[in-house]
Amino acid sequence: MKKLDGQIVIITGGARGIGEGICKIFCNEGATVALWDVLEEGQTTADNISADGGSIFFQKVDVTSQDSVDSAVANIIDNHGKIDVLINNAGIIRDRSILKMTREEWDMVRSVNVDSLFITTKAVLPHMKSANYGRIISASSINAFQGAFGQTNYSASKAAIVGFTHSLCREVGKYNITVNAVAPGFIKSEMTDSMPEEIIKAGITQIPVGRIGTPEDMAHAYLFLASKEAGFVSGHTLHANGGAMPI
């Protein structure tokens, strides 16, 4: 029996990168996945996973819009009757030193990375409460804890996710709903693929396990927290960074 057999899972920002990796692993474990993204590329990702046997469908959703999220949730409930897992993976970066950063760049990162958690959780939580079961897992970052030059907006947003996780778990634990976060470290992505080789090598020297992480590595971290076996783990931020930072 697979870990997520029969479960309905929402994965935001699932079109590429870590989100795509989560979609693949969760489908492999028997989940039916609703891939949410503003990118039309999400349809291609869903088609590719479906061709490999995964149960997945694409919904074009703007996670900063309550109307967009509410409509997508209503569609899932109409067609599947429940939502077991919410993965808040959608996020953006707008890197710039704070003296050069615009208010628009600050607000945009906050809106996508933080405000979306309120919007998606507000829409999904009543259905988890009525079912007396749920898993809510959100994407933080190693930079929420160590910071990074040019990322005051991003690091602040990812630190906010940790506080959100700690607080929400206290509100919903009585409904058999767990709330956790994952804090990835240096992960292979389109962004890292464009980095100079010497920068990548320098980054790897800071990782005790001696390699860069992969979207699949992150997906397995999410899978543990989404599983029924993790029912006593809540309010936790799982640091998935190869030992790059003391916790």
Catalytic residue numbers, as ranges:
154
**Which of 136-149 are b and which e, b meaning 16 or more Cβ less than 10 Å from the residue's Cβ?**
bbbbbbbbbbeeee
85-88 and 8-12 strand pairing: parallel
At residue 32, φ and ψ (nearest 5 deg) are -100, 120
Radius of gyration of the chain (CA): 17
Maximum CA extent, the chain: 54
Report DSSP state, residue 94: -
Strand ranges for the chain from DSSP E: 8-12, 32-37, 55-60, 85-88, 134-139, 177-184, 237-240
Question: b/e string for 176-206 if b means 16 or more Cβ within 10 A?
Answer: ebbbbbbbbbbbbbeeeeeeeeeeeeeeeee
CB atoms within 10 A of CB 109: 24
Q: What are phi and psi of 166, to 5 degrees?
A: -60, -40
Q: Which two tokens stand for residue 156?
A: 């602040």
